Amino acid sequence: MSEVVLYSFRRCPYAMRARMALRYSGVAVQTIEVSLKAKPVEMLALSPKGTVPVLSVEGQVIDESLAIMGWALSQHDPEDWLLKNDPAARSLIAGLIEENDQAFKVHLNRYKYAERYPEQPMEHYRAEGEVFLRKLDELLTERNYLLVEHLSLADVALAPFVRQFAHVDREWFAGTPYRRLQAWLQRILESELFTGVMEKKL
């Protein structure tokens, strides 16, 4: 395989989940950290929309994080993140990711940048996002991960966004009753998979 290049931004949740999938799959990747204020012309030539992550492999350009995750897992999925033999679970994965990327991401943005949305107080946007947090916490009632007893695509695709929501007001999140969700998030953030993709490059 020719060189695989990923254009990324360390703190972007979309880029985080793409990097985790690539690392897990064992694909050798050259990661280029992008300055969002000065995006490299090479990246813009590949993907004019100018958002990260962007993966370039064998003349193919993949510029959506979920598509990058899917490509990585098609190369190697040793722990069955895709839950290949469980159609019902795969449907649940798709539903959770859609809810995260559509509704929850909107509430997250408005909660995090509430000053840009003065129509409602910050607490209103937080409460809207909490609906999804409660749902995830309930999924964790009988297991350590969302759908099965190991990481799946759902856990890795959602964790960077839950992390971002939790970090808007860490004291508030620590005081919520979502103990299972707190433990789930901490488990992922302390994993070698996550810490490995978050290392600052010299």
| Tens-binned pLDDT, residue by residue, of the chain (202 aa) | 568 999 999 999 999 999 999 999 999 999 999 998 899 999 999 999 999 999 999 889 999 999 999 999 999 999 999 999 999 999 999 999 999 999 999 999 999 999 999 999 999 999 999 999 999 999 999 999 999 999 999 999 999 999 999 999 999 999 999 999 999 999 999 999 999 999 986 5
Nearest-5° Cα angle at 22, 58 to 113: 110
pTM of the model: 0.96
**Domains, the chain:** 4-78 (3.40.30.10), 87-192 (1.20.1050.10)
- CB burial of 99-125 (b: ≥16 within 10 Å; e: otherwise) equals bbbeebbebbebbbebeeeeeeebeeb
- Minimal CA–CA distance to 21: which of 86, 71, 88? 71
Report helix, strand or coil for 196.
helix
Distance CA 186, CA 191 (A): 8
Are 198 and 154 in contact by the 8 Å Cβ rule? The answer is: no
DSSP H helices in the chain: 13-25, 41-46, 65-75, 87-99, 105-112, 122-139, 153-168, 170-174, 179-189, 192-197
Distance CA 151, CA 179 (A): 18
Within 10 Å of residue 132's Cβ, how many Cβ atoms? 21
